[in-house]
Structure 1
Amino acid sequence: MQSSNPFMKSLTKSTTESQRAQAMAHQQGGYGQTGYAQPGYAQDPYATQQAYQQSPNYGAPQKAADRPMTVDDVVTKTGITLAVIVVFAAITMVIGGSNPSLAMGLTFIGAIGGFIAVMVSAFGRKYDSPIVTLVYAVFEGLFVGGFSWLLSGMAVGDSDAGAMIFQAILGTVGVFIGMLVVYKTGAIRVTPKFNKIMIGALIGVVVLALGNLVFSLFSGDAGLLRDGGPIAIIFSLVCIVLAALSFLTDFDQADQLIRAGAPSKMAWGVALGLAVTLVWLYTEILRLLSYFMRD
């Protein structure tokens, strides 16, 4: 079902590992803004709100750009970000049909560019920057399109490629909705302890994935974590579970910012965080499906 080209396999492994690194960086780096709630730190949104009230400018007329963030802001900014990803993913897939080499290059560029954008947002105090978020969306769209084109078998003319991609999208949407329900019902509560466990688990996954990548580069083999065997299937399932739980942290971050009365522009950072998690979840589901679709 998939191409046997060693270069394509290597690129598939290396670009996917960057997704986990992005997710971990987003969790570890918090959101690069002093005064707002950050995952992994027991910051009280009500204390933040009190700090706003004690500000000399509290109660003064604010510019429209500085109005408090709302759920609609999060939905709108996330929708725009995902739309950009979809558009550029489609462009890469179309290019792949006529120029496979260019598509592979765009996939690699997209993975590296997306990773850098997340680093800038997490550690460069650019959490509220629409430019950083949309730049990430462009790069990540290039990666997602190329990754889907390659891993689904579309690169080798597999007739089931479209169905596999659709199943991965459906699974991603289903998990997202399911975790939103879990968060709203309080079935799993996001606490400082929960965030610490998540960060530790993400670090562990990234270390294992990078170790497997280094091994594969020197041995020419996919490695136990990516060879489609039982261990590879279990590893993908673990990644899917972690990506799903990461949604809870994203939802909680948005909730705290809204309660704290953070500026509306902060919704761009929330959108980036949700996009990182969605892309990671999608790529892991697609990879898992590819294991079962192999001849």
Structure 2
Amino acid sequence: MRSSNPVMNSLSTPTNSQQSGTPQGYQDPYAAYGQTPAQQAGDRPMTVDDVVTKTGITLGVIVVFAIVNFVISLSNPGLAMTLTMVGAIGGLITVLVATFGKKYGSAAVTLIYAAFEGLFVGGISVMFSGMLVGDSDAGALIGQAVLGTVGVFLGMLFVYKTGAVKVTPKFNRIVTGAIIGVLVLSVGNLLLAMFTGSNPLRDGGILAIIFSIVCIGLAAVSFLSDFDMADKMIRAGAPSKMAWGVALGLSVTLVWLYTEILRLLSYFRSN
């Protein structure tokens, strides 16, 4: 089972010791007799309710910390921007730990990511909306971005449930390749901005608008891979603790989508 989301990919490649809950190298002679991964790990199988509950908790933590940093920005913009940077860096490190450290079943890792990402979302919302310069439409802009994010999420869930788009290994490879391409372009644009001051992909021009639309589209189709991965894990009887990993993967995509929608709306308002 593969996904375009790197966090979700780590869910599908656990080690033998993680699957069975036994020391490395130990072979259970009875493990092959009809036991699900959850039974081998001494846990109950994951359900849709587990995914919904854990994702809801994770998003709730993100929202709370976003509001905290948003309120701080109104009285102390400097501190808020510092917290935003801490959130961005901390969130990235947490995702890397979850992906490469195989911490996909850890509630602590997921909630730590949510706290960091909440600080980032709160600060970036203030920056993109123009709240710091007294823009009276800032609240409306943020509200539109939230509604857009929820709308895209529900729309892609409907597309997946109806089977309008089939998630195949080829589909996942194409989406993964596109995301890697966007990441390379983003890093290149960042380096260009640092050394030359030119920022063509993020300056609000035509190219920047097109780039944001592409990012929004990729984030949207990434949900299909995320939903498919969660569905397959539930059907395979994965341990319930893995729902925290699913929540982390979905939250990563949701935050990316929200950020790009808010950025795009800020371009149109500025223009």
TM-score of the two chains, using structure 1 as the length reference: 0.81
Counterparts in 2 of 1:139 and 1:176: CA distance versus 1, 3 Å: same
Residue 36 (structure 2) pairs with residue 55 (structure 1): no
1:97 aligns with 2:78: no
The counterpart of 1:156, out of the listed 133, 140, 150, is 133
Residue 277 of structure 1: how far off its partner (Å): 0.4
Does the 8 Å CA contact 1:31/1:269 hold for their aligned counterparts? no
2:264 maps to 288
Structure 1: runs of 5 or more not aligned: 1-22, 36-52
> How far off is 1:219 after superposition?
1.8
Cα distance per residue 1:64-86 (max 9 Å; x no partner): 97100000000000000000000
Residue in 2 that maps onto 1:261: 237
Partner of 2:105, secondary structure, is coil
Q: 1:26: how far off?
A: 3.0
Alignment-derived partner of residue 119 in structure 1? 96
Structure 2 contact 172–225 (Cα < 8 Å) conserved: yes
Pick the aligned partner of 1:251 from 210, 214, 227: 227
Map 1:19-98 → 2, pairs under 5 A = 25-26=6-7, 33-34=14-15, 55=32, 58=35, 66-98=43-75
Contact 2:5 2:222 in 1 (8 A): no
After superposition, residues 196-211 of structure 1 pair within 5 angstroms as 196-211=173-188
Tell whether 2:247 aligns with 1:271: yes
Superposition deviation, residue 27 in structure 1? 5.9
* Aligned AA (1:114): G
Verify the 8 A CA contact 2:46 2:242 in the aligned structure 1: yes
- Compute the displacement of 1:124 (Å): 0.5
Cα offset, 1:99, TM superposition: 0.7
Deviation at 1:218, TM superposition (A): 1.2
Q: 1:110-151, CA deviations, whole angstroms, 9 ceiling, x for partnerless residues?
A: 001001111111110111110110000000000000000111
Tell me, in whole angstroms, the C-alpha distance in 2 between the residues paired with 1:157 and 1:65.
55
- Provide, for residues 193-243 of structure 1, a one-character-per-residue CA deviation record: whole Å limited to 9, x for no partner: 01111110011000001100000011223x111111111000000000000
Q: Which residue of 1 aligns with 2:27?
A: none
Partner of 2:25 in structure 1?
A: none
- Runs of 5+ unmatched residues, structure 2: 17-29
Q: CA deviation at 1:173?
A: 0.3
Does the CA-based 8 Å contact 1:88-1:145 persist in structure 2? yes
Distance apart, 1:62 and its partner CA: 6.0
CA shift for structure 1 position 192: 0.6
CA RMSD of aligned residues (A): 2.2
CA–CA distance in structure 2, aligned partners of residues 118 and 25 of structure 1: 9
CA contact (8 A) 2:69 2:123 kept: yes
Q: Are positions 1:174 and 2:155 aligned together?
A: no
* Residue in structure 1 matched with residue 20 of structure 2 by the alignment: none
Query: How many residues get paired?
Result: 254
Amino acid at match of 2:84: T
The residue that corresponds to 1:147 in the other structure is: 124
Query: Contact 2:10/2:102 (CA < 8 Å) preserved in 1?
Result: no
The answer on 1:134 being equivalent to 2:111 is: yes
Give 1:157 deviation, angstroms. Answer: 1.2
| Equivalent-residue separation in structure 2 for 1:28 and 1:250 (angstroms) | 9
* C-alpha separation in 1, matches of 2:114 and 2:6: 16
Seq. identity, % = 67
Which whole-Å CA distance do the structure 1 matches of 2:243 and 2:7 have between them?
15
Tell me the amino acid that sits aligned with residue 97 of structure 1: L
